[in-house]
């Protein structure tokens, strides 16, 4: 996906950010689980910290100590307040990238920059698919219907 490419580019260039963290949020979201996932990434033990607010404060401190960092929250399905998790807002050096299926969700979460990724056209999907699979394999007559059907799903 596009965000995977961004993540990899950030890791390749050590001069842009010191820390790049990736968390997949998914549908089974809870603030507690997200706090634990981020805490693991930043080597923070929250096991003895009670209460969502205290956990959020500890997490925010840990993230702020890591200057020049990027936190990628992938596959966000539900609106939540970043402060409740402990994700600092509008702080120099600490950036957040969020992926969601809903542009409305991005608006509700006050994303500053929103990029809508459009699906590929059928031709673009076929070109990408055959490039990745290998043009000679994609054009084998016995596989043509199957490869075209798979590429169509990408459009």
136-153 tens-digit pLDDT: 665 677 777 777 777 777
Q: What is the pLDDT of residue 31?
A: 95
- The answer, yes or no, to whether residue 80 has pLDDT greater than 90, is yes
Domain range enclosing 84: 2-108
Is the domain of 71 the same as that of 95?
yes
Is the domain of 77 the same as that of 129?
no
Per the CB < 8 A criterion, the answer to whether 8 and 23 are in contact is: no
Per the CB < 8 A criterion, the answer to whether 35 and 73 are in contact is: no
Residue 38 lies in a domain: yes
Is the domain of 74 the same as that of 130?
no
pLDDT > 70 fraction of the chain, expressed in percent and rounded: 95
What contacts 145, CB < 8 A, 6 or more positions away?
none
CA–CA distance, 45 with 55 (Å, rounded to integer)? 10
Is the domain of 12 the same as that of 53?
yes
Mean pLDDT over residues 71-90, rounded?
92
Is the domain of 12 the same as that of 60?
yes
**Locate tokens 């936190």: which residue?**
71
Is the domain of 9 the same as that of 67?
yes
Total domain count for the chain?
2
Model's pTM, two decimal places?
0.79
CA–CA distance, 32 with 45 (Å, rounded to integer)? 13
Residue 116 lies in a domain: no
Alpha helices in 66-143 (DSSP H): 82-85, 103-108, 122-133, 135-138
């Amino acid at each position: 996906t596009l965000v995977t490419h961004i993540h990899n580019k950030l890791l390749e260039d050590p001069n842009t950010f010191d820390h790049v963290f990736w968390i997949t949020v998914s549908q089974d979201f809870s603030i507690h689980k997200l706090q634990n996932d981020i805490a693991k990434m930043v080597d923070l033990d929250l096991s003895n910290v009670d209460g969502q607010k205290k956990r959020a404060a500890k997490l925010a401190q840990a993230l702020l100590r890591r200057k020049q960092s990027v936190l990628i929250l992938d596959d966000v399905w539900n609106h939540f307040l970043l402060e409740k998790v402990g994700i600092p807002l509008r702080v120099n050096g600490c950036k957040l990238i969020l992926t969601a299926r809903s542009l409305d969700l991005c608006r509700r979460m006050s994303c500053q920059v929103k990029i809508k990724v459009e699906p590929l056209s059928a031709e673009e999907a076929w070109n990408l698919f055959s490039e990745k699979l290998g043009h000679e394999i994609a054009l084998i007559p016995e596989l043509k219907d199957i490869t075209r059907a798979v590429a169509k799903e990408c459009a």
